[in-house]
Structure formats: structure tokens, C-alpha cells
Structure 1
């Protein structure tokens, strides 16, 4: 879900760009009319009711926390990115965007030096930095030089994942291992698109954003990101990328990628899942050269393997009916609980509801520290 940021309007105004009351009200009403922009508290209540009701009939009650034994609480909350990336890099390195860890306990100079060596052994900048524990694109940044990297690391409060930046098309492929057949199946595919605007030599960047049907819907976040550039006038035909992080809450456009399902893709995803023992259910975020490469299961580079609370993100395709979104999410959680029950019966551990609440509170505090 994407939430508006009133502070963004204030930053834009401070930079000299002014929006009218009509613009602000129009954006808020447009977002209200499209449930993909609703806050989580408005969308999730029916799903939470289902999860609790279904869990009450599960054996054991918190069976869903056994859906992914390789992740803390199966990736419901508080899991680390490295828990899944490390075995994938060790067992199937061709399928992963190379990464290394920069622990916060290392002195800043040591982390910067390790980053410098990592950059020198690869294609160079850009690179990606992100928190080892994070959700919904929190703290993810594309870094283009050492100064930006040092600033990021100086501000980081927790361990950081340093990863190669992969060009190409970005997708989220939701996979699961069928609890009855053990076969890896494709549940959902989302094509992550990054909005842009094209200059005409007359309108400012702020005006281009407000005049673009999609960009104006995410204007609050864009005003924050481009606060010092909103009065700039891009030259004619100059394309300005507005988003570069494949997270819906960061402004990416999510399109249903059902048409990319294929047997070659399923086999490629099977190889990835097999390389991470204990991973049975979640969305795998990846990049590959283009649509055909995805359909053929080639050129895939995994950036993250997400756990149980990852969403079948095709539901955010513009125009998807609200009931279809609820239906897809309920089906997803039903499957997660069934997989958790099968794993728990085979001996996989679960955690208690109280432990889960503690993890949630810890994650809420962690989220306040990331920029």
C-alpha cells in the first residue's frame, strides 16, 4: 500500500514549487477511489479475520510460522535477507545478484573499504544498499558513487546488504512447494514498471508530475524525492525516471504478469527454491533482460526471497476489483497455512503468537530508524 506524505508537500513548497488546493484535493480523492493506494489498515481487516479464523483450526495454532523453516517466523516479520540469499549464492550463484554483508558493528571506515573492494571486483557503480531486515522497500537505495555510499552507511543503524545492481526488467514471482506433491508451482507473477515523465522544454518537473495520470497519484512521494528539482524544466524528449526501486509503496507500477507463466520459468524457479533448503513459500524478486527472458527462464538474477507476508503483488494491477484483491490474498494465506501444517507435522518448529507480537514491536521500532 502507498500512503501520502504531507511533509513532502512542505518540502516542495520550501524548494519553491507550489501546488494548488485543487491539485492536492484531486490527488487525495483519486487515491481514495483506487484501493491500491489505501493504507494497510483499510485493506487488510478481512484478511486478518480469515488468518485468525483459519489458524484457529490449524494444527498447531501457529502452523503458518513453519511455512518457511529457513526464515525466522517463516518470513512473517523480522527475517533477514541473508538467511535466504546466502544458501542461494552458495548453491546456485548464477541465479543471484552477488551480495555481501556490511555489519553495523564494523567501524565505518572498514565498511567503506569493504564496499570499495566489492565495487572494484565487479562492474562498478551503481550498486544497491539495503537493510538486512526490512520490508516494503524500506531503506533500499541505488548508490552511484562512494560519497553516497559513505553517507548511507554513516546513517545506517543496522546490518546492511551490499548487492550488485542488475539492469533489465524487474519481476516478482510468487512460488510455493505443493505440500502434497513437493512440486514447485507458480502462484503469481507481477511485472514491476518504473514510471517516467518526458520533458517538453516548457513545463517544470513538478508540472510534468502533476500532469501525468500515473505520476500524480504518487506525487507526495515524488515531491519528497525531487524536492530540490521540482522547478527544473527538462529539455524536450528528455526522459526523467521517477522511480528506481521495485516496491509498490515507493511508487512502482505493478502489472499482472500471468502471461509469463511457462514450464521453463517454473523449472528455473524450482532450481532457485531447491538451492535454499527450507524455503517453500514466498515472492522472489528478480531481474532479467526482458519479458521473453523471464518466460524462457534465462538470465534470472534474484535480488530477494521474501517470506509469508510477501504479497501476490499482481493484485495491484490498476483496475483490479477490491474483491479480487481480497480473494487472492485469502487464497495465498490459506495455502501458507496448509504448507505450514505439513511442515510442522514433519517436525519444523513454530513460534508462539506472543513471540510473533514481540517480533512485530521490534520491527516497528526498527522501521522508525530507516530513511
Structure 2
């Protein structure tokens, strides 16, 4: 089960033509798990296949190469449909070094207990000589999880971008120029479902690959794009541009505070927002007119509402404002999230979330972030103890993630 796709480059993946359960969807057209073997002087595997097919994958690979000869295993993305067969492969390829990002190595160790293996940690722009080929690596966080990277073979002019540029089709013919039916719409749907929520990161990725000479794109699902590869890059470019206008998005940041700590949290949220191109309107409700603030919120594209916690409750005028927001027609579909500082408990953020949901906002919390963009760090509701710096750093990151959501909406 191997197909030569280039000089010394082989597809060694798995075509899964079932109706495949995937991210709470059913892939009616199945999918492929594309893994690649570069038969260079230092044989290298790029990504593996789904965890369900680990043994079959290794058995097929053995027909092409003695696993003991494999020197590198590149893991672009640690999800089980790409890294799932790594334990089975690593057990046979005992000398192989695992090439991935720093966060990727941590996640792989947590998942597969590979602490005894040697990792090669790569960062943006790093290169690796694999004996007759030079691989270049670029970090592409949140495409579609934080640890993701892409790999480029300079001599082959081939991009191995894992989930990016993928399509969920059980493509037995493997190459897009041999496709038996229409697949362009499937390509666009994949982008919309998986990549579109991360539009700013798509733009960053396109910028990173803009100077590369790419003749073939070998993703981890669906067709290998060897015909008109540039047209698929252009499609991503077109689909990731601002829709219709270049209007700067606006977020209202409102809060009540007792000692000033929640104000500090708000400032770091604002930095994260503004660093990502969001215009902000910031209100300390102690000195703001509730009616005026409500009008600004109506005109904004998102809302961050915060409060300190006192006796397990909100403080100041935040509850008065939240009651005012109930039923405003412009709330529907807008992103909103809660934040606040605390000393002993921190329940205020829960009350704020309840009000935001009742008003009709799309509430951003841990469940939403895990389910949509794969962020597993606790960002929202944002709860910072006093004004500790680690909490402030989290607040800045939370502002950046919220900006990403608003910009993609």
C-alpha cells in the first residue's frame, strides 16, 4: 500500500472509505490519512495515520523499508488521525528521532509516554538535512490547534501541510488530476469548517509560504494537489480575506472593580485585542453612564464584561448594565465573555455569563473554545487571582483569542 508521488517520496497512508465519525460529524465520502516516506540517505516519515489503523500501517510500511532504517519521524500535528500510529511506528523504528514543535513534543509525551525517545524541536524557519533533501519547517499555530507546523521539502518543491489544504474524500486515485468527480466544493467546505475560524492564522501561514516555490501540496486528508497547486493557495487567500469590507472590528470592555485589580485585567485584555487589530471602547462603570455604555455595546462587534467578586457576587454597577442588555436585538450572534479578579472565590464571572447568555450573546467559555478552535487552556471565563502576573499574561492571550473570534465572525 504505497504509491510513489515524487522522486524518493512515497505515499504510505490509508484510504478510509467508510462513513467516518469525525468531530461530531459523519464524513459521508470517507477520508484518507496521508502519511509520507522520503527514501533519502536518512529515511524520514512525515505524519502517520489514524490510531485505529496503526498496526496495518506499520505492516504495510515494512514492505517498503526496514523500520530500523528510519532516522526521523516528522509530526506536524498531534491529533490521533495524524499521530495516532506513532507508538506502533516508534516501537519498530527504535532509532528514529521525532521532529516536532516544542508544544508538540510535550503533547506527544503526554499522549504516548515517549519520554525515552529523542526529540528534535524545530521552530519557525528551521531546516533539517535528511540526506539528499532539506526539510524546512514553519510554525502554524491554530491551524487548527496550537502546536501545528508545516513541512516543506526544498528539492522536491513539495509542501506537507497536514490538515491545511486538505479535503475529506476517500480519494483512492490519490491525485487531484485523477479525480473521478467534483471535489472543489468539498475542499471549500473543509476550509469553512476547520480553517475559517482561524482566519488571521491562515493569513500568517500564507505569508510564511509566499516565498516558497510550491509545485505539489501533499496534505494529510484527501487529494495530493499536483495539478495547479498554486490555485489552491489562491483559494485559501481569497477565502481568508475580509468579507466585503475592511472595517475595523470593535469590542466594548466594561467592568466594575473594588481595588483596581479587575481594571488591570481589563487593560491586559485590551492589549491582546488591540495587538490583533481590534478597536476598543473601555468603561469603568463606576464613572460611566449606563445608557451611553449600552449604546456603545449595541454598535460593537463583541463584549467583554468583568467584575471583582465580593461575597460570591458581582460588585458595582455591572449587574445594572447586564439587566439593561436583556433583549437588545443586536446581541444575537455577537461574541461575549466574562472576566474578573478575585481573592477567595471568584463567582462573579458565573453570574456575568448567565446574564450574557440570557441577553442572547454567543458566550465564549471553555466549552466553546475547546469545541470550536481546540484551545484547551482555561481562558474564558477569565478568573485572575488578585493581580498576579501569570494571570495577567493569560488575560493578554485571552484578548488575542477573543480578537481572533471577532475578526472571523
TM-score (norm 1): 0.25
Between Structure 1 and Structure 2, the one with more strand by share is 2
Q: Which has the higher contact order (CA 8 A, sep 6+)?
A: 1
TM-score (norm 2): 0.23
Structure with bigger gyration radius: 2
Between Structure 1 and Structure 2, the one with more helix by share is 1
